[in-house]
Structures are given as structure tokens and as C-alpha cells.
Structure 1
Amino acid sequence: MSVYVYAITKAAHPLGLDHVKGVGEDPAELHAVSSGELTAVVSEAPEVLSVSRRDVEAHLTVQEQLWADGAILPLSFGFVAPDEAAVEGLLQEQAEEFSQRLDELTGRAEFNVKGVLDEDTLLRAVLTESAQARELNDAIREGGGTYEDRLALGELVAQEVQRRQEALGEEALAALRPYALAEQVTPPSQQYFVNASFLVDGERSDEFAEAGGELAEALGEGVELRLRGPLPPYSFV
């Protein structure tokens, strides 16, 4: 019987999972598979596992409930083992590594930070602060300008947008790094000028959240900073 694995934790963890359901249309009961000082929380794997909102939320709910009572190693959505013996074997083979990582993550949480720029506000800033962009835009808007002018304006705006995104991203990272123990940073994209996860000591969670709020205000108009946390350390396992 294949089993779906949610997380690994210490055998001493209270595993308070009453009234929590796992993945699947008809979720099987959550239970523990243990080996030595480690435990994996599993359920019978559903015949059909869909990447649906229901199943993803169920997966995360189990992990968050466990994490509320102690350190865990949260597994990625969709981790299925052939049977419980395979899970026991994994716990045995990786016992030292898993135990060490659980000790390192005890009392620590993840915060995820995403930064979004309003395109209209950004474009206005570029046209206000760049005389060259403003001249090209005025010429094109008044019906003049050449194809080369339009191309030049597009390239100039793209360069300015990238420069501003990178500058804002570095500003955000610099402001939050002093409160974190580690970070995982995704390169800036068209959607987010910053997308980073921080590992934060539990005693500094309030400080980190406060710094995130102050940063959001300091970044000004047209900039939205989305901060989620504290969360289980998904990015640091």
C-alpha cells in the first residue's frame, strides 16, 4: 500500500492532528511511521492525487498544524512512498542528517516576501525622471517620431524598469537581512521585483514583521510588499 508523506519530525513530537484531514477526495486517517528518534506523518495515498486547491491546502494544513507544536521537515506536495517499510528505511538511512536539520530548525520560522510594482506608477516615474524618455514619448504621442524612436523608447523604458526593479529588490533585501539567519532568493521577474524567503529565529519574528511593515511604507507609492509568515521552513529543508 503506497503512502503519502507530509513531514518528518522527532518521535517526541506530540502530533496533535485531531480533526485534521489529509489529501484525497476521501482522506485516509493520518498516522505516524517511526524509526528510532524520528517519525514521518503519513496517510494512505489516494488513488488519484490531483494538484487541486483542496489537496494542496490539506497538505499545507497538516504541516502547519504539526509545525505549531514543534520543528518539522515539511516535504513537497506529492511525495508518495511505495509503502511504510520504504518510509522506515528512509528514516533509518538519513537519521543523522534529518535529526541535525530538525535541531537547526527548532524555534525558527520562514517568512516569504514578494514585491510588486504598479506598472503605471513605474512608467510615470521613468517619464518624469528621464529627459530622453520624456522627449521620445512626447514626439510619438503627438504623431511624430520614427519607428527607430519607438524602438528606442521601448528599450529605454525596459532598461529603466529593470534598473529600478533591481534597486528596489536590493533595498528590500538589505532592510530585512539583519533580522534573518538565512535566505533563499529567486531572481527578479516581470511579476516580482523581489521574491525571497527568510529563515528567522522565533524570538525575532515580531522584529522581522515590523521591519517588513516599515519597509512597505518606505518604498512608497506604487510599490506593494507582500509578507507571509511565520510559516514552516519550506524553503530551508
Structure 2
Amino acid sequence: MAEETALFVYGIVPSDVEPTENASGVGDPPAEVTLIRQGRLAALVSEIPLDTPLGRPADLRAYQELLDGTAAVAPVLPVRFGTALDGPDGVTDLLATHQDRFAAALDELEGRVQYALHGRYREGEFVAAVLADNPAAADLAEQVRGQPEEVTREQRIRLGELISQAVELSREAETTRLLEALGPLAVASAPRAPSNEMDAGYAVFLVDTERAEEFIAAAEEYAEQRRDLIRARLLGPLAPYDFADAHELVG
């Protein structure tokens, strides 16, 4: 009995795009990625068994690597991770039904890629700054220093709350600083929710490839200016996950 399969859909591209050589997708072993074309559009897909559990880190990594690699050479409209359709007819129906919307979105993405700048506070330096500026926090830190946790539990909880509040306030200001520094060099920008309790500024940017070098230089300057307090990491070029989602155009 033949194994039942579905088509995992990664993203939508112009119909003249070709998959990169040896492009691989989700699964174990990684599946071959192909294109299904319909009119002006094409979908990047790979075949997966219907009973394949998705969501492993390796699957998400394969999905992102394929889309990021595609975005480096052509506009791509990401399709939400985990989307699978019954077969080629389901994919061509999707492309035909939303041809105009998808094509317009790809036109907007032509020559543009996403970057993300993720900052995280250097914990020791940040806590030291909080204690220097907040007498109540400094007093609590003195009370718990060298004392058993079970004896100073309440003080430690209160100190943790004060530091968390300071992080939240500082993060808001840092994100504003980040957007003001890099936003003017981008077509669009947006803050991202923190992924860690010590996250500082975290934002994403849609950037014209013609201005990419200028944007990267500005990001490096920002990171250098804040290096004493923040570890900043620039990610990209990426597919425009935060600025284009095929699911948002369906309906």
C-alpha cells in the first residue's frame, strides 16, 4: 500500500524563480524541494508523509534556511510554518485563487529583505547600574549578600521584582532608541516581543538591498555605542517573515 503524502508549502515566489541547487526541506532525511507553477506565481514545496510529525528544531531550521536563501536572490512570500496541502491541485488552486494579492505582495518585496537586531543586557553590568540608581534595590542586595536563600527569600523575591521592573522600563526606552537609529534606513520597521527576561531592544526591519550596506554599518555603530551594557546581534538577510505572510492575504 502506497504511503499517503501531502505537500509542505514553504513560500510563494514569481514563476520564473528556480530552487537553489540541492535545496532541501523538512523531514528525515530532508525532502527535495520543487516548484509548482500557476500563472505568474510558483510555490516552493516538498512532499511529506501524512503521518510525519512536524515542529522539530531541524524542521524549523530547514524551513527558515530555504526561505532565507531564496530571499537573497528573489522576492518570497513566506507561508506559515506547518502548512501542508493535499497535493498539486490544492497548491495550484491556492495560487490561482489569490493570484493578484500574492503577485502584488511580491512586487512590494522586490529588492527587499528583512534584518533583525536583537539586544540582550549584560546581566552583571545591568544589575550594577540598577543598584547604583535605586537605593531600595541596593539595600535589598546588601541584606541578601552572603545569606542563605531560605533566610532571605522575601528580600530576594522583592529584589528580583525591582530588577525585572527596571529591565522592562529600560527595554522600552532601548527599543525606541533602536528604532530611531535604524528605522530611517528601512522601508518598514517594528518592535519584537522579548524572547528572554534580559532582552534589551529587539526590532525587525524591511530594508532595500541597495541600502543594505548602509543599514548594516548603522547597526554596527549602534552595537558599538551600546556594547558596555548590551550584547547586540544583527540577523539577516532574512525572508520577510514579519512584513509578509501569505496567510494574511488569504480570505
Name the TM-score, length of structure 2 as normaliser: 0.82
Unaligned runs of 5+ in 1: none
Where does 1:125-204 land on structure 2 (aligned, <5 Å)? 125-138=129-142, 141=145, 153-188=159-194, 190-204=197-211
Cα shift at 1:139: 5.3
Cα shift at 1:161: 3.0
Cα 1:43–1:157 change in 2 (3 A) is: closer
**More off after superposition, 216-225 vs 131-140:** 131-140
Do residues 219 (structure 1) and 226 (structure 2) align?
A: yes
How many positions carry a matched residue from both structures? 234
Cα shift at 1:138: 3.7
Cα shift at 1:79: 1.4
Aligned-residue Cα RMSD (Å) equals 2.5
Residue aligned with 2:67, SS: helix
CA contact (8 A) 1:9 1:39 kept: yes
User: What letter matches 1:190 in structure 2?
Assistant: E
Match of 2:24 in 1: 21
* CA offset digits 1:135-183 (Å, max 9, x no partner): 454456498xx99877765554443332222222221121111111112
- Partner of residue 33 from structure 1, selected from 21, 36, 42: 36
- Partner of residue 2 from structure 1, selected from 3, 6, 20: 6
Give the fraction of aligned pairs with identical amino acids, expressed as a percent: 34
Matches of 2:108 and 2:176 in 1, distance apart?
Answer: 27
User: What letter matches 1:122 in structure 2?
Assistant: F
Matches of 2:42 and 2:159 in 1, distance apart?
Answer: 59
CA contact (8 A) 2:179 2:189 kept: no
Cα shift at 1:19: 1.6
Matches of 2:167 and 2:64 in 1, distance apart?
Answer: 35
CA contact (8 A) 1:34 1:88 kept: yes
CA contact (8 A) 1:10 1:99 kept: yes
Matches of 1:99 and 1:6 in 2, distance apart?
Answer: 16
Name the TM-score, length of structure 1 as normaliser: 0.87
Match of 1:74 in 2: 78
CA contact (8 A) 1:20 1:61 kept: no
